A and B are shown apart, each in its own frame.
Chain A
Amino acid sequence: MGKVVGIDLGTTNSLVACVENGRPVVLRDERGDALVPSVVSIDEDGTIFVGREAQRRLLTEPSRAVYSVKRFMGRGIEDVREDAGLLPFRVSGETGGVVRIGVADREFTPPEISAFILRELKHRAEEHFRKQGEFDFEVDRAVITVPAYFNDAQRTATRDAGRLAGLEVLRIINEPTAASLAYGLDKRNRGTIAVYDLGGGTFDISILKVEDGVFQVLSTNGDTHLGGDDIDRLLVEMVLSEVGRALSGAPGGPEGSAPQTIETIRRAVIQAKWDLSDIEETEIRIEPSPAVRMGYRKRITRAEFDLLIHPLIERTLEPCRQALADAGLEPKDIDEAVLVGGSTRIPLVRRLVEELFGRKPHSELNPDEVVAIGAAVQADILISGRREMLLLDVTPLSLGIETMGGVVSKIIVRNSTIPASGREMFTTGVDNQTGVDIHVLQGERELAADCRSLAHLHLKGIPPMVAGLPRIEVRFQIDANGILSVSARELRTGVEQAVEVKPSYGLTDQEVERMLIESFEHAEADFEARLLIDARNEAESVIQATEKVLRRSETEGVASELLDPGERERIAAAISELKAAMIGTDRAAIQEKTHALNHATQHLAEATMNRTVREALAGRNIKDV
């Protein structure tokens, strides 16, 4: 068995954490950075870049990068048109189907893009375990977090992404609940807590009761389309409208909304947004560049910023009130409020939360890292079987089926503790009917048209009987992941019914299976690509080091002292052979020529070293004297 990790798969950033010696730790890169930007960039030759490198490429090759993919998970094209406008990548899809993301000539589904991010996190964790000297460092299982308000399709898409990344998804858990688990580690007290989670793309509020180590969610609410991204978009639109005006009379033509222009503006406004969490006034500053020729500068105060974003933040308050009402509580009943998500650094957000709950919210733990920590803790609970703590979560949306006249009949009501189940009886309408179709939906509205279509079920193999005689019991089961499964049985004959599930906004099992096979094929190619890059980098650094030593020996006039006759020519030949190999894609050849160059410079390296040591000793002697 391999290793187990907790993953926060975020809209803007993703993180991976694990429990080591009983303590959760967030895994960082060499620079100490825990955040992996949720950005994927696909090179011309198909090489995949994820994280910081992809973020860099976003500026130079914006049309080859994909970000904020979480917003597309489990959604249809009709849901995401608004987002698609300002994004540099192509978004397409048939009405009532899975969204497709186009990068150059390739197309991906959102779970495939998310899987690239998950693979990067998996890689990071495996590097960590390898460096720890673990013999079995492979990471094969994970707990992945999702917004509490994610529906069945969005959860399933996340689980599919895990599978595509070669991870067994132990559990999908809700982000606010994960955060409460992280907070609960230090203070094992009891009470009612509200977790306010405003991230890059989603908003969640969860009300929990904590007692005897049981973290019981009483209610949850939210908006899966509200977060820091929306704030950025407001600012980008503000700048665009002004840049556009400035340009209308300027020579060189309008830059319009070219991806590069938008990306340049986006970076500048995000920096300004961050500034305004600490200081009262800052400047949105864009240096003149091909993307924004005139450049742009504008002072902005926190008051102006607050005014701009107030309507957005206000939208979080109604879900909070609804969650309180569903839990049967008043704001004064909340013992503690906890802030999660990068957007809760904004002072206006803190103020409004404090006003609502009448108390200063907690933010002791890093709001970016707390969810990943909770996921790691939950992963540890699952594999260790330790029973000190238990999460009892709820389903955020009611589950129902469409009945006569397009009205929804609810089978499992929202805020039911999961796992939860429900039953519904069906019968036939005509004699000898052997199949029944059922439309499953999620949502709170009365009419099917206003709810979220989850799937169309087709019950098959009903024993032929007079109309109305069969008694088919359909059982709906929501598991601890918040994901639905359906089974059916004809009670008169006891025959288990086959249920064909056609997800409305998800991938069928066959599609996931096919992608899995493709991803294995690509994974090999991706792995090969990574090794090739590594080999080229290694070769490049050896060439640079050699050239540097040669140059220095020239300028210092010691070349003849260090180099034997003919040695310079041999080194020069080795370098040009290596450079020739680097143009190709034969990794073995590059490695061989790198090795040859290393060999050719061995004498030079030793001679240089000796000289440096002599000089150092000589220098010390002089000083000592």
Chain B
Amino acid sequence: MLECRNCGAGAPVDEHFCPQCSRLLALGRHGDYFTFLGLPRKLVIDANELERRFRDLSRKFHPDYFYNASPTERLASLERSSYLNDAYRALRNPVSRIEHLLAIEGLPSAKSDEGTAKVPPSLLEEVFALNEELDEIRELRESGTDPETLRTRLDTARAPIEAKREEHERQLQDLSARWDSQEVAPAPEKRATLDALRERLLERNYINNLLASIEREVAAVAHG
């Protein structure tokens, strides 16, 4: 429950305005972007719907419209607008949307730092092959091999990683759809989906790092 700082009435945590005096409520310790935007906790979101809600709420909260209000309401406007903008940014992007879902479902963060430490088992083979190839290319570059040859080898090395990434994107989409269909499923099943989503995200970060290391070598080749 939130307490209205104007009239003292109680309000549910997902309310924006006090049901009693209709003043803008202070933000409190809100942690859920879906609820804040009035959306179900689902991963497939209609982008237009998200934008419409963002615009509508912006029109309700924006500090522009609270210029003449009390200091309490002005602060509430600033906090709610900031939170709205954060929520919109996080939910607009499918990956940060999954990250947010994992966070509010109580799973540990899937941010890159933790992901890069150890190689995900499913990627061991690719990583091993790529690192070897990159080492060789680096040596060839340093001994002055012609850039065109190196570029061709880099393209060849990139192909399987790109394929992996596409596969992952598909898996993320499938898992997202599964999560959305599990509204009334037993908790362990939902948890399994979340765990799988988290694993895919960690792998995805790792794959992106691999692609980045290929791009660094491409740049090194280009600059001679």
Measuring CB to CB, which residues of chain A are less than 8 angstroms from any residue of chain B?
170-171, 211-212, 214, 216, 378, 381-383, 385, 387, 390-392, 416-421, 477, 479-480
CB-CB nearest in chain B for A171: B64
* A387→B78 contact, CB < 8 A: no
- Show 15 residue pairs from A and B whose CB-CB distance is below 8 angstroms, ordered by the A residue: A171-B64, A214-B58, A214-B59, A382-B64, A382-B67, A390-B59, A391-B64, A417-B85, A417-B89, A419-B63, A420-B82, A420-B86, A421-B86, A477-B82, A480-B81
Residues of chain A within 8 A of B55, CB atoms compared: 211-212, 214, 216
Q: Any chain A CB within 8 A of the CB of B179?
A: no
CB-CB nearest in chain B for A417: B85
CB-CB nearest in chain A for B88: A417
Min CB distance, A33 to chain B, in Å?
A: 32
* A385→B68 contact, CB < 8 A: yes
CB-CB nearest in chain A for B69: A385
Min CB distance, B55 to chain A, in Å?
A: 5
Which 5 A-B residue pairings sit nearest by Cβ, starting from the closest? A421-B82, A417-B85, A419-B82, A382-B67, A214-B55
Q: Any chain A CB within 8 A of the CB of B62?
A: yes
* B81→A419 contact, CB < 8 A: yes
User: Which of A385, A417, A421 is in CB contact (< 8 Å) with B67?
Assistant: A385
| A477-B78 CB under 8 A given contacts A214-B59, A390-B58 | yes
Residues of chain B within 8 A of A214, CB atoms compared: 55, 58-59
Min CB distance, B52 to chain A, in Å?
A: 9
Complexed CA–CA distance, A214 and B51 (Å): 11
* A416→B65 contact, CB < 8 A: no
Residues of chain A within 8 A of B82, CB atoms compared: 419-421, 477
* Most interface-central of A211, A392, A418, A419 (chain B CB within 10 A): A419
| A385-B85 CB under 8 A given contacts A211-B55, A390-B59, A477-B78 | no
* Most interface-central of A385, A391, A417, A420 (chain B CB within 10 A): A417
* B64→A480 contact, CB < 8 A: yes
Residues of chain A within 8 A of B59, CB atoms compared: 214, 387, 390
Residues of chain B within 8 A of A479, CB atoms compared: 63, 78
* A480→B63 contact, CB < 8 A: yes
B 80-137 contacts with A by CB, 8 A: 81-83, 85-86, 88-89
Residues of chain B within 8 A of A382, CB atoms compared: 64, 67
CB-CB nearest in chain B for A209: B51
Min CB distance, A170 to chain B, in Å?
A: 7
Complexed CA–CA distance, A116 and B89 (Å): 41
CB-CB nearest in chain A for B55: A214
Complexed CA–CA distance, A211 and B55 (Å): 9
Residues of chain A within 8 A of B89, CB atoms compared: 416-417
Residues of chain B within 8 A of A212, CB atoms compared: 55
Residues of chain B within 8 A of A170, CB atoms compared: 67
Complexed CA–CA distance, A410 and B85 (Å): 17
CB-CB nearest in chain A for B84: A417
Complexed CA–CA distance, A171 and B74 (Å): 14
Measuring CB to CB, which residues of chain B are less than 8 angstroms from any residue of chain A?
55, 58-59, 62-65, 67-68, 78-79, 81-83, 85-86, 88-89
* A420→B64 contact, CB < 8 A: no
User: Which of B65, B67, B79 is in CB contact (< 8 Å) with A387?
Assistant: B65
Residues of chain A within 8 A of B85, CB atoms compared: 416-420
Residues of chain B within 8 A of A480, CB atoms compared: 62-64, 78, 81
Min CB distance, A326 to chain B, in Å?
A: 13
CB-CB nearest in chain A for B80: A419
Residues of chain B within 8 A of A216, CB atoms compared: 55
Complexed CA–CA distance, A387 and B61 (Å): 11
Min CB distance, B176 to chain A, in Å?
A: 20
Complexed CA–CA distance, A371 and B29 (Å): 39
* B78→A419 contact, CB < 8 A: yes
Residues of chain B within 8 A of A420, CB atoms compared: 82, 85-86
| A392-B58 CB under 8 A given contacts A416-B85, A417-B89, A419-B82 | yes
* A383→B78 contact, CB < 8 A: no
Complexed CA–CA distance, A417 and B86 (Å): 8
Beyond known contacts A419-B81, A421-B79, A421-B82: 5 more, CB 8 A cutoff: A212-B55, A392-B62, A416-B86, A419-B63, A420-B85
Min CB distance, A325 to chain B, in Å?
A: 15
Residues of chain A within 8 A of B67, CB atoms compared: 170, 382-383, 385
Complexed CA–CA distance, A589 and B85 (Å): 63
Min CB distance, B30 to chain A, in Å?
A: 12
Complexed CA–CA distance, A216 and B85 (Å): 12
Min CB distance, A525 to chain B, in Å?
A: 34
Residues of chain B within 8 A of A417, CB atoms compared: 85, 88-89
Residues of chain B within 8 A of A211, CB atoms compared: 55
Complexed CA–CA distance, A216 and B81 (Å): 14
Complexed CA–CA distance, A95 and B85 (Å): 37
Complexed CA–CA distance, A390 and B63 (Å): 10
* B62→A390 contact, CB < 8 A: yes
Min CB distance, A395 to chain B, in Å?
A: 10
CB-CB nearest in chain B for A422: B86
Complexed CA–CA distance, A521 and B136 (Å): 74
Complexed CA–CA distance, A170 and B63 (Å): 11
Complexed CA–CA distance, A170 and B62 (Å): 14
Min CB distance, A624 to chain B, in Å?
A: 68
* B64→A381 contact, CB < 8 A: yes
Min CB distance, A153 to chain B, in Å?
A: 21
Residues of chain B within 8 A of A378, CB atoms compared: 64
Min CB distance, B76 to chain A, in Å?
A: 12
Residues of chain B within 8 A of A421, CB atoms compared: 79, 82-83, 86
CB-CB nearest in chain B for A214: B55
CB-CB nearest in chain A for B89: A416
Complexed CA–CA distance, A170 and B83 (Å): 22
Complexed CA–CA distance, A433 and B67 (Å): 41
Complexed CA–CA distance, A420 and B79 (Å): 9
Min CB distance, B212 to chain A, in Å?
A: 13
Complexed CA–CA distance, A435 and B67 (Å): 36
CB-CB nearest in chain B for A383: B67
Complexed CA–CA distance, A417 and B63 (Å): 13
Complexed CA–CA distance, A378 and B67 (Å): 12
Residues of chain A within 8 A of B86, CB atoms compared: 416, 420-421
Residues of chain B within 8 A of A171, CB atoms compared: 64
* B78→A390 contact, CB < 8 A: no
Min CB distance, A317 to chain B, in Å?
A: 21
Residues of chain B within 8 A of A477, CB atoms compared: 78, 82
Residues of chain B within 8 A of A381, CB atoms compared: 64
Min CB distance, B203 to chain A, in Å?
A: 23
Residues of chain A within 8 A of B63, CB atoms compared: 419, 479-480
CB-CB nearest in chain B for A212: B55
Complexed CA–CA distance, A382 and B86 (Å): 23
Complexed CA–CA distance, A381 and B79 (Å): 20
CB-CB nearest in chain A for B62: A390
Residues of chain B within 8 A of A418, CB atoms compared: 85
Residues of chain A within 8 A of B79, CB atoms compared: 421
* Most interface-central of A378, A382, A383, A477 (chain B CB within 10 A): A382
Residues of chain B within 8 A of A416, CB atoms compared: 85-86, 89
Complexed CA–CA distance, A214 and B52 (Å): 11
Complexed CA–CA distance, A473 and B214 (Å): 38
Min CB distance, B79 to chain A, in Å?
A: 8
User: Which of B58, B65, B78, B88 is in CB contact (< 8 Å) with A385?
Assistant: B65
Residues of chain B within 8 A of A385, CB atoms compared: 65, 67-68
Complexed CA–CA distance, A419 and B27 (Å): 14
Min CB distance, A382 to chain B, in Å?
A: 5
